[in-house]
């Protein structure tokens, strides 16, 4: 495979329609939210989708059939949920599918307040930077903390605009609000 030139979210519309056809409703989470808000439209990292309606378990065999038919690979995320390697125009795009599992969840209030974007013929939900940052702080893994420090740098450099009051408000949706705020401050957010 050659050097990656990246992909656009529009390159995944076929997959998004397939997921909806399986009764799965989802929101784009992960780093894509940050870069999209910064105006990027070409991505190289994986795409994380959070399924908030429908069940990955009940859709998994259908997902595998679609992947087989399309020549895609199926793996799994660190939580054991499906991960698809979608091939499109010479690109391999990793699409990780998540749903509420263990302490990993996205509150309904966040989903309902997420941004709606248009991609070709469909509308999609994508988290705002503030929503993603709070969820990242809640996760608290070493990788999450590194991402938060990178986001704080982007904010400080003026490349990423965030509403600090909204971040504080969203942190209050979680019982571990104090921990979330502490991690954000430690990463460099001026809260």
pTM of the prediction? 0.94
Lowest-pLDDT choice from 9-13, 30-34, 140-144, 150-154: 140-144
Nearest to 67 by CA among 90, 31, 94: 94
Each residue's pLDDT tens digit, 38-75: 999 999 999 999 999 999 999 999 999 999 999 999 99
Radius of gyration of the chain (CA): 17
CA distance linking residue 89 with residue 98, whole number of Å: 25
Each residue's pLDDT tens digit, 89-140: 888 999 999 999 878 889 999 999 999 999 998 999 999 999 999 999 999 8
């Amino acid at each position: 495979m050659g050097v990656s030139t990246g992909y656009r979210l529009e390159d995944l519309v076929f997959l998004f329609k397939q997921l909806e056809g399986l009764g799965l409703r989802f929101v784009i989470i992960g780093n894509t939210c940050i870069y999209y808000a910064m105006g990027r439209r070409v991505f190289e990292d994986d795409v994380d989708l959070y399924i908030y309606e429908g069940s990955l378990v009940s859709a998994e065999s259908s997902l595998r059939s679609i992947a087989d038919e399309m020549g895609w690979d199926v793996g799994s995320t660190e939580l054991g949920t499906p991960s698809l390697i979608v091939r499109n125009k010479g690109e391999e795009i990793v699409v990780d599918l998540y749903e509420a599992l263990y302490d990993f969840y996205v509150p309904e209030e966040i989903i309902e307040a997420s941004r709606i974007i248009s991609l070709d013929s469909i509308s999609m939900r994508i988290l705002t930077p503030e929503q993603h940052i709070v969820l990242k702080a809640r996760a608290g893994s070493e990788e999450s903390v590194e991402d938060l420090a990178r986001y704080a740098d982007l904010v400080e450099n003026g490349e990423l605009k965030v509403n600090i009051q909204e971040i504080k408000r969203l942190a209050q949706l979680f019982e571990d609000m104090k921990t979330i705020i502490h991690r954000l401050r430690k990463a460099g957010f001026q809260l």
